[in-house]
């Protein structure tokens, strides 16, 4: 693994980003644990993927696709639930 010296930004260690990701995901995971529901699960998955993308140590730009795919699944679930309520 190469070492980079940054002129402006501080060097961030992988452990610090892992702690930040877990801290950012904790509210969604605790809420899901307390009140499990299909809609809440989809929200939590999307939120956790987004926090991993935003606060991750080494994230490739294609990683945002996982957030997009889970959001698409959430939209499909909402449409399905709306159709069931209309019937």
State the pLDDT at residue 69.
81
State the pLDDT at residue 67.
84
State the pLDDT at residue 14.
87
State the pLDDT at residue 25.
96
Give Cα 63 to chain centroid, integer Å: 10
What are 45-52's contacts with CB under 8 Å, separation 24+? 45/70, 46/70, 46/71, 46/74, 51/21, 51/24, 51/25, 52/21, 52/25
Answering whether pTM is above 0.85, one says: no
State the pLDDT at residue 24.
96
What residues of the chain score a pLDDT lower than 70?
A: 1-2, 4, 87
Nearest-angstrom CA–CA distance, 28 and 25:
6
């Amino acid at each position: 693994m190469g070492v980079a010296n940054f002129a402006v930004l501080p060097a961030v260690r992988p452990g610090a980003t892992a702690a930040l990701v877990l801290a950012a995901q904790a509210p969604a995971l605790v809420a899901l644990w307390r009140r499990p529901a299909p809609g809440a699960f989809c929200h939590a998955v999307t939120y956790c993927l987004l926090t991993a993308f935003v606060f991750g140590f080494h994230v490739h730009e294609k990683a945002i696709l996982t957030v997009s795919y889970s959001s698409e699944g959430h939209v499909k679930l909402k449409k399905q639930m709306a159709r069931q309520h209309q019937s």
